Structure 1
């Protein structure tokens, strides 16, 4: 059945499209690609992966004596959020650009905000 879908121009993927996204094949409908199956876990996992990265960056930059603590913390948060999103993307099976934009961005923004708040506290010298 998967071969018929592919021959007819269907959207079956490497697994034949069965079970990837309900009734939509490997790519699913537009709404399924946008919402995805891991939307409830994706931002939380990216934020969790970014925590040790953020801690390491804070430890490294503390010796550099930044003068704008909030901006330095936000920059470190953004860098750790981006690194965590890249690491998470390697394991995530949903890679539609709309999904990545909508669900990875809030996690990076959250970590950026946390970095800005922690910057004022942890980067004082």
Structure 2
């Protein structure tokens, strides 16, 4: 706090504090984009969600893990983790573009469960699929 006080005293400007740092060992969100999803899963196992400072960060961390499960072909773990993210912070999960994209991908890439379809509906993904041109929605099956 001393540095913040010094800046205020010298300039008269208030300083916005940064959010608390993430717990050590939080590299799992970077590892999948670096091409090593298994390392990301290993890193994620060592992180306590309770150590993350907000439910939004917990939800985002779970979303990152879900993406990683999808990349290594663990579909049921992916869906289970997305549902855990939704329980943690429903609005964050439903609004996150990356999560919605993953849900959409899961809907078209393999078998769908009741849980996945429910998550897609709550996230607005089913409505988006129906509105998309060429989605087949509203066409008669011949």
Q: Which has the higher contact order (CA 8 A, sep 6+)?
A: 1
Give the TM-score normalised by the residue count of structure 1. 0.30
Give the TM-score normalised by the residue count of structure 2. 0.27
